[in-house]
């Protein structure tokens, strides 16, 4: 581990020198890439320096115990050593976790898609509740969420809603949200007071960049139509909404949020590129999953991942068996505990996998 950490420190020093070079500063793409690498390595190097300092203190305490003739000094050194050794174990665990290779997609922005599933009107209402939950979580994280496309439910909520989320490590945090979310409650439309079970599916797609997916524009058919959502006087009078069809796969994407047809085209193209990227990513993940079955799931959107039980104010994540009894807070965007526990579970599996490899 020490060799690995030393190599990271050397790379950190190298990046620190490169990042101030005029030719790098003038190349925006390269500068941003190196800035991100510098920021990621800085955390590991700071922890490594603290670990080296701790090892030095342990060696000093051991030397005093072995060579000091004064009994009081030896007792003080033993007491110090008793404090330092548990700190070393904790720090080593932290460093091991930091050395786990990061998913290269973790730093990407995401396309978030929520669709009402089984349950008719109630499923659409629940999809709207989930959208608000993620909207509130984004606000707390300081991320920017922008609407791409939506179809409203007949009694409220959304049959389908697609958004783009931009910020730091968005995919790394939200990737565990992909799957089927189930709700148990008395719907507003229910007159007998019976509890119904409905569901909505969530898909979190890492936003693909041009370098990730090569798109041939000849494979894409573009159609324009009138927007149907809110947008002032221009709605239903200008063909600003855009629908893109990827002919080889049959994938269809549309965007009607912006008043400008060009902006809607750019957004729709981003979503299309991300969906194509996700198809390839899913193939890659399935190949890995065939070798190992992860506790936190494959990220498959058909996996039932979480249940929201309103009568009991209970939320249960089925992948890690975590249950909390603060449903109102969760629906108000307080999902950080779930995300953190899922991240810990995934890291533990990857550590175990590295140990047996």
Q: Using an 8 Å Cβ cutoff, are 170 and 76 in contact? A: no
Query: Which residues, at least 6 apart from 142, have a Cβ–Cβ distance to it below 8 Å?
Result: 167
Q: Please report the pLDDT score of residue 210 as a whole number.
A: 60
Query: Which of 56-60, 132-136, 208-212 has the least mean pLDDT?
Result: 208-212
Say if domain 110-210+289-356 classifies as CATH 3.40.50.300: no
Q: For position 293, what pLDDT does the model report?
A: 46
What's the CATH number for 217-287?
A: 3.30.160.20
Q: What share of the chain is helix, strand, coil (3-state, %, to 5)?
A: 50, 20, 30
Question: In the prediction, which pLDDT does 142 show?
Answer: 95
Predicted local distance difference test score (pLDDT) of residue 232: 45
CB neighbourhood size of 202 (10 A): 21
DSSP 8-state symbol, 65: H
Q: pLDDT tens digit string along 73-83?
A: 889 999 999 99
Residue 229 has pLDDT above 70, yes or no: no
Regarding predicted confidence, which is higher, 206 or 323? 323
User: What average pLDDT score do residues 136-165 get?
Assistant: 92
Can you give the pLDDT at residue 295? 42
pLDDT at position 105: 82
Residue 329 to residues 132, 183, 196, 314: CA-CA distances in angstroms? Answer: 12, 15, 22, 11
Burial class (CB in 10 A: 0-12, 13-18, 19+), 350: middle
Report residue 107: phi and psi, to 5°: -85, -5
Spans of all domains in the chain:
1-99, 110-210+289-356, 217-287
Query: What would the DSSP string read from start to end of 100-167?
Result: SPPPTTTTS-EEEEEEE-TTHHHHHHHHHHHHHHHHHHHHHHT-EEEEEEEEE-BTBSEEEEEEEEES
pLDDT 10s digits, 280-289 = 777 766 654 5
Look at residue 299 and tell me whether its pLDDT is greater than 60: no
320 within 8 A of 309, measured Cβ to Cβ: no
Q: What angle do CA 11, 14, 19 make, to 5 degrees?
A: 120
**Predicted local confidence at residue 287, as pLDDT:** 59
Cα atoms found within 13 Å of the Cα of residue 20, Cβ hemisphere only: 4
Q: How far apart, in whole angstroms, are the C-alpha atoms of residue 357 and residue 353?
A: 6
Q: pLDDT value at position 292?
A: 39
Q: Which of 27-36, 250-259, 278-287, 326-335 has the lowest mean pLDDT?
A: 278-287
Instruction: Dump pLDDT digits (tens) for 171-217.
Output: 999 999 999 999 999 987 677 788 889 999 998 988 876 656 677 88
pLDDT band at 148 (very low <50, low <70, confident <90, very high): confident
Residues 181, 189 contacting (CB under 8 angstroms) = no
Average pLDDT over residues 36-42: 83
Q: How far apart are CA 33 and CA 13, in angstroms?
A: 16
**Architecture of the domain delimited by 1-99:** Up-down Bundle (1.20)
Q: Which neighbouring-strand residues pair with 241?
A: 225
Dump pLDDT digits (tens) for 252-274: 888 887 777 888 888 888 888 88
């Amino acid at each position: 581990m020490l060799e690995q950490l030393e190599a990271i420190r050397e790379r950190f020093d190298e990046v620190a020198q490169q990042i101030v070079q005029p030719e790098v500063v003038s190349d925006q793409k390269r500068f941003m890439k190196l800035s991100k690498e510098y920021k990621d390595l800085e955390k590991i190097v700071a922890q490594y320096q603290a670990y080296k300092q701790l090892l030095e203190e342990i060696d000093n305490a051991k030397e005093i115990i072995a060579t000091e003739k004064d009994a009081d000094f030896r007792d003080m050194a033993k007491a110090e050593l008793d404090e330092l050794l548990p700190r070393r174990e904790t720090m080593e665990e932290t460093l091991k976790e930091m050395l786990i290779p990061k998913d290269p997609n973790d730093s990407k922005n995401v396309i978030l898609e929520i669709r009402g599933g089984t349950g008719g009107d109630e499923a659409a209402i629940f999809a709207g509740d989930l959208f608000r939950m993620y909207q509130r979580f984004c606000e707390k994280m300081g991320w920017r969420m922008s609407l791409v496309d939506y179809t409203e439910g007949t009694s409220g909520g959304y049959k389908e809603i697609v958004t783009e989320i931009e910020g730091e490590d968005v995919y790394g945090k939200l990737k565990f949200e992909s799957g089927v979310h189930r709700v148990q409650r008395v719907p507003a439309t229910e007159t007998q007071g019976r509890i119904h079970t409905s569901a909505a599916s969530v898909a979190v797609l890492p936003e693909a960049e041009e370098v990730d997916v090569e798109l041939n524009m000849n494979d894409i058919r573009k159609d324009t139509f009138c927007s149907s959502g809110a947008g002032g006087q221009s709605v239903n009078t200008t063909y600003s909404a855009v629908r893109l069809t990827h002919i080889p796969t049959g994938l269809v994407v549309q965007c009607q949020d912006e008043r400008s047809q060009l902006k809607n085209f750019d957004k729709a193209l981003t979503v299309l590129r991300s969906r194509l990227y996700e198809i390839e990513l899913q193939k890659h993940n399935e190949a890995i999953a065939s070798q190992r079955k992860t506790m936190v799931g494959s990220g498959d959107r058909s996996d039932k991942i979480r249940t929201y039980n309103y009568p009991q104010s209970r939320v249960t994540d089925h992948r890690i068996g975590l249950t909390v009894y603060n449903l109102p807070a969760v629906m108000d965007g307080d999902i950080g505990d779930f995300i953190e526990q899922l991240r810990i579970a995934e890291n533990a599996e990857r550590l175990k996998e590295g140990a047996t490899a």
